[in-house]
């Protein structure tokens, strides 16, 4: 592969079993905003106004540049069509942002959506191609990174959990987990 230029889009992935993938993506978005880049941030699964990062991102981003399209966590295939419709809506929103040639687009929990069958590999591949062709850097988060996506990515950071307070029966805390 030849040398890539500063203008070529990157695919960045934050994955692994540890806590902090979304936080890393939020940090990437804040860094890009601080550099004057146009940023979009989409979240699969999470309901709007469910977590602390959503509140701050809504303050930092123009209204149409943030979308939490979720119905909550998806388990056991229940309500598949409703969750699939929400995931499809986020994919369509992402396509529009890429077509508008924004500088950075975050798709939080994209790997969870992919591995749950709520988006299909062809949809994610389309977004990867479109982002690369338009010059939009694409940030993806989630567990269980498939090998084909690892091969396409320019950066993969794997977050490992060494210890978690849940193991000590300490409940989730506002501002820490949500």
Q: What is the pLDDT of residue 73?
A: 73
Q: What is the pLDDT of residue 177?
A: 78
Which two tokens mark 162?
A: 């060494």
Model confidence, pTM = 0.91
Query: What fold characterizes domain 27-168?
Result: Rossmann fold (3.40.50)
- Quote the mean pLDDT of the chain: 92
Domain range annotation of the chain: 27-168
C-alpha angle 25-126-158 in degrees, rounded to nearest 5 = 30
* pLDDT bracket for residue 24 (50, 70, 90): very high
Summarised one tens digit per residue, pLDDT across range 67-115 is 999 887 777 777 889 999 999 999 999 999 999 999 999 999 999 999 9
Whether 42 and 106 have beta carbons less than 8 Å apart is answered as yes
């Amino acid at each position: 592969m030849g040398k890539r230029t500063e203008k070529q889009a990157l695919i960045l992935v934050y994955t692994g079993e540890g806590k902090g993938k979304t936080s890393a993506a939020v940090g990437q978005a804040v860094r890009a905003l601080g550099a004057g880049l146009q940023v979009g941030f989409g979240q699969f699964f999470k309901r709007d106004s469910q977590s602390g990062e959503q509140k701050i991102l809504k303050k930092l981003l123009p209204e149409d540049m943030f979308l939490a399209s979720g119905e909550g966590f998806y388990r056991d295939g229940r309500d598949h069509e409703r969750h699939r419709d929400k995931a499809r809506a986020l994919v369509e929103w992402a396509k529009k942002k890429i077509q508008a040639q924004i500088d950075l687009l975050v798709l939080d929990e994209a790997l969870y959506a992919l591995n749950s069958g709520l988006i299909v590999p062809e949809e994610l591949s389309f977004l990867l191609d479109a982002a690369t062709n338009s010059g939009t850097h694409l940030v993806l988060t989630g567990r269980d990174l498939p090998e084909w996506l690892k091969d396409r990515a320019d950066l993969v950071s794997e977050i490992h959990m060494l210890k978690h307070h849940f193991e000590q029966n300490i409940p989730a805390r506002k501002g820490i987990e949500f």
